[in-house]
Amino acid sequence: MEVDVSGKLANRKPEWLKVRIPIGEEYRKVKSIVDTHKLHTICQSGNCPNMGECWGAGTATFMILGNVCTRSCSFCAVATGRPQELDEEEPTRVAKAIQKMGVKHAVITSVNRDELPDKGARIWYNTIIAIKELCPSTTIETLIPDVRSDWDALELMISAGQEVVSHNMETVKRLYRKVRIQAKYERSLEELRRIKEYGKRTKTGIMLGCGETEDEVYEAMDDLLGVGVDVLTLGQYLQPTKMHLGVDRYVHPDEFKRYKEIGIQKGFKYVESGPLVRSSYHAEKHVF
């Protein structure tokens, strides 16, 4: 049986948004490792449509610093509130899980921890160091949050040796107050600029179907290239619950293909573009 990513009947959404229910031995193995080490994944917390495919291939995107976020973005399925968890042993557990899974390329993300003086940067740093010590041949992508212009925290987050640093814009400039109410378009661009200046391969993602126009997508591409972004991901926004932002439209795969072609022409080194694309989808391709 096929279902859509919200668990509703698949025929309520376009054919291209159908995904298969997660099954298989490798999927069960990854789930067991995640559960045994008491880890969080954005795959689960974010209701990712690619979880079956990625976990079936033995990969997962680990989410550190707990699973409660201090932000209340209108698109995100992760729980919002005041986090209680700050686990000093988490970096070691994540590293051991990655070692056990034999991951060649690891993706790490986190919730926002605005209540912490360092925005969680120390745990970020310790996690990357722990992975590099246990799994020296594993390459790492870190998908980091908005640090609210705390550039000391940003430097600590990205200075531990990861190969790729990603920070998602999520949407076009006009829709920021609607989609990322506690974020600022220019601030996220500045964060990406500083990541690039630090010497990292730099990546970001935008959701389509939130009400943006084609010209606004191209404007965002130009802004991102202006701050040195190397990799762009484009995917369809899918409403996680009725309490979240509604879908404005379902973008056809042909339109995603066109955006990819134009993004490459404009100068991105890599563009991952498709209805089910998410930030960490095929992330191993983005280490060049």
pLDDT for 63 equals 86
Span 2-286 CATH architecture: Alpha-Beta Barrel (3.20)
CA 252, 233, 22, 62: dihedral to nearest 10 degrees?
A: -160
Mean pLDDT across the stretch 8-28? 61
Question: CA dist 175 to 75, 162, 265, Å?
Answer: 12, 31, 25
Residue 16 has pLDDT above 90, yes or no: no
For residue 48, name the pLDDT band (cuts at 50, 70, 90).
low
In the three-class reduction of DSSP (H, G, I as helix; E, B as strand; rest coil), residue 26 is classed as helix
Lowest mean pLDDT among 103-117, 210-224, 263-277: 103-117
Question: CA dist 102 to 1, 54, 123, Å?
Answer: 31, 14, 22
> Tokens 């298989």 label which residue?
24
Q: Please give the helix or strand (H or E) that residue 110 lies within, else none.
A: strand 105-110
Q: Tokens at residue 90, please? A: 């988490």
pLDDT tens string 58-99: 456 788 998 899 999 998 888 899 998 789 999 999 999 888
pLDDT for 9 equals 36
Q: What is the mean pLDDT of the chain?
A: 85
pLDDT tens string 19-29: 655 555 655 66
What is the C-alpha to C-alpha distance for residues 44 and 182, in angstroms, rounded to an integer?
A: 23
Taking residue 229's Cβ as centre, other Cβ atoms within 10 Å add up to: 25
pLDDT tens string 221-276: 999 999 999 999 999 999 988 889 999 999 999 999 999 999 999 999 999 999 98
Residue 140 has pLDDT above 50, yes or no: yes
Q: Which amino acid is at 93?
A: R
What is the C-alpha to C-alpha distance for residues 239 and 6, in angstroms, rounded to an integer?
A: 8
For residue 11, name the pLDDT band (cuts at 50, 70, 90).
very low
pLDDT for 241 equals 86
Pick the more confident residue, 46 or 220: 220
